[in-house]
Amino acid sequence: MTNMIKVLKGTKDILPQDIEMWHFVEENAQNIFSSYGFKEIRTPIIETTDLFSRGVGDTTDIVNKEMYTFEKSDRSITLRPENTAGVVRSYIENGMHRLSAPVKLWYKGPMFRYERPQAGRQRQFNQIGVEMFGIDKPAADAEIILTAVNFLKSIGLNNLEVEINSIGCPKCRTEYKEKLKNIIKPYLNELCEDCQARYEKNPLRLLDCKVSECQNIYAKKEIQEVILSDFLCKDCCEHYSELKNFLNKLNIKYSENKLLVRGLDYYTRTVFEIKSNNLGSQNAVCGGGRYDGLVEQLGGEHTPAIGFAMGMERLISLLPQQETKKLDAFIVSNSSLDAFLLAEELRKKGISVEIDLANKKFTKQLEKASKIAKFALILGEDEILNEKVSIKNLFTGEQISVDKKNCYNYLGS
Ligand code: ATP
Ligand code: MG
């Protein structure tokens, strides 16, 4: 094994022993999201780089540091770091604004960010998410949060914390941003390099910096006073109270976190995150929010919208390990042809079955059957002669002889 090639740093194989967890999560997503009227959309993994500089924002970490970008035929192309921008592009390009609102879409698939790999943080990772277009009412925000919470419940995750905040609209936020900048100004030199850049371009994002020195500064009393001050205009305030009212009535537990932000002007009003206490420092499983300005930002008509994205690897790491499903049956026989023919009949009936392809001895075949299947179907010389099959239940050891043509009736678990 010289020169063995290894998987790239920050990427992982999803191996057969884990795939059932993925199917479980994906099937639940499909069921829950469709029960709320969301339809699946699949957009390309590669998009033009501009989509993300305009759609995610060129002052964000994602666009500044984390994108996989390359040139092809004089075009700058980027592996999608997230899927909202792609879905919005498709919404506009396919004239979905002509459909009656709300337009509800969901997606799943790999995203790419050049980050420092660590537990819960990969360079290729999978997200599952939803987007809803065309409704500016707080009922839409409530339904999106409800969808997220119920999906998480459906996979058995009940003990998660929902945090919400409102970041207002570009109008009421402007004054707040100025106040924030003024109060932080004396500490500018003490902030991390990223925060120094955010200070000018994206001051709201200062608040969710993960560097502890910066957080210590933002924890100062006079800065906290500004952070906690109410800056929302009347409309934004009403929207936020109505959302909270819905959540209370719907029995969704949440806490308010004024540090929860999305820094860009096309994000408006509601932002939320869902966190787990069992994930260490990479503890967010879901991030979402309203982005009423984004469709217009990407060249469409003004369209209110809201959505969320969840990190599938983080979700799956919270689930209990599942046992690998066993095959329904393994055919034990020295006659490959008879085994083949029976296996094909059974597969047509939806039964999962394997046969021996290696001319192994009977006892070896039985051993293999007991490892991988629920039933051993024994086709010895006598059975073949009499059109019979001996069925051995590999959990109980019980064995019965039945007619070959209806043996599938006995293979229920
Ligand atoms: P974080 O603060 O953890 O970097 P983020 O704000 O970059 O999160 P979003 O862009 O909102 O995250 O993505 C939504 C979800 O996708 C996150 O809550 C997380 O569960 C998951 N996620 C984001 N980046 C990664 C990554 N590099 N590896 C694995 N999961 C990720
Ligand atoms: Mg990130």
Alpha-carbon distance values, 183 to 10, 73, 230, 242, 264 (Å): 39, 48, 16, 31, 20
- Confidence label for 280 from pLDDT (cuts 50, 70 and 90): confident
Nearest CA to ligand 1 atom 25: 121
Residues whose CB falls within 8 Å of the CB of residue 286, separated by 6 or more in sequence, listed in order:
148, 152, 272, 273, 274, 308, 309, 310, 311
Spatial strand order in the sheet of 68-72: 46-48, 75-79, 68-72
Q: What Å distances lie between residue 118 and 208, 224, 280, CA to CA? A: 19, 31, 11
> In this structure, are strands 255-256 and 161-166 parallel, antiparallel, or unpaired?
parallel
Same fold across 16-168+232-317 and 327-412: no
Ligand 1 atom nearest 123 alpha carbon: 27
Distance 219 CA to ligand 2 centre (A): 22
Residue 290 is predicted with a pLDDT of 97
Q: So what's the pLDDT on residue 228?
A: 86
Cα of 351 to ligand 2 centre, how many Å? 44
Q: What percentage of the chain reaches a pLDDT higher than 90?
A: 83
Fold of 16-168+232-317: BirA Bifunctional Protein; domain 2 (3.30.930)
**E strands along 304-387, which residues?**
305-311, 327-333, 353-355, 373-379
Ligand 1 in contact with 274 (CB < 6 A)?
no
CA-nearest residue, atom 28 of ligand 1: 121
97 lines ligand 1 (CB under 6 A): no
Mean pLDDT of 37-51: 98
- 287 ligand 1 Cβ < 6 A: yes
pLDDT tens-digit map of 317-373? 999 888 888 999 999 999 999 999 999 999 999 999 999 999 999 999 999 999 999
Q: What is the CATH number of domain 327-412?
A: 3.40.50.800
| Cα 284 to middle of ligand 2, angstroms | 10
* Dihedral sign (CA 240, 245, 251, 253): positive
Q: Residue 284 and residue 273: Cα distance in Å, rounded?
A: 7
**Which DSSP string corresponds to 120-161?**
TB-SEEEEEEEEEES--SHHHHHHHHHHHHHHHHHTT----E
The pLDDT tens digits for 143-198 are 999 999 999 999 999 889 999 999 999 899 999 999 999 999 999 999 999 899 88
- pLDDT at position 51: 97
Q: What is the pLDDT of residues 94-130, one digit of tens each?
A: 999 999 999 999 999 999 999 999 999 999 999 999 9
**DSSP tag of 8:** P
> What is the sign, positive or negative, of the torsion defined by CA atoms of 21, 27, 32, 37?
positive
Q: Is 170 left (phi over 0), alpha (psi -120 to 50) or beta?
A: alpha
Terminal-to-terminal C-alpha distance of the chain: 43
Neighbouring C-alpha atoms within 13 Å toward the C-beta of 84:
28
Q: Is the model's pLDDT at 25 over the cut of 70?
A: yes
> Number of C-alpha atoms within 13 angstroms, CB side, residue 392?
15
Return the structure tokens found at 186. 């004396």
Residues 6+ apart with CB under 8 A from 313: 12, 120, 122, 125, 126
Query: Do the beta carbons of residue 109 and residue 127 sit within 8 Å?
Result: yes
Ligand 1 pocket member 282 (CB < 6 A): yes
CA 406 to each of CA 267, 345, 388, 389: distance values in angstroms, whole numbers, following the listed order: 62, 10, 9, 10
Helix (H, G, I), strand (E, B) or coil at 275: strand
Residue with tokens 């997230």: 82
Class of residue 334 by CB neighbours under 10 A (exposed 0-12, middle 13-18, buried 19+): middle
Ligand 1 centroid to residue 174 C-alpha, Å:
27
Element (H, E) at 364: helix 362-372
Q: Where along the chain do its domains lie?
A: 16-168+232-317, 327-412
The label of the residue with tokens 């790491």 reads 317
- 248-267 tens-digit pLDDT: 999 999 999 998 987 677 88
Phi and psi torsions of 349, nearest 5° = -90, 5
242 Cβ below 6 A of ligand 1:
no
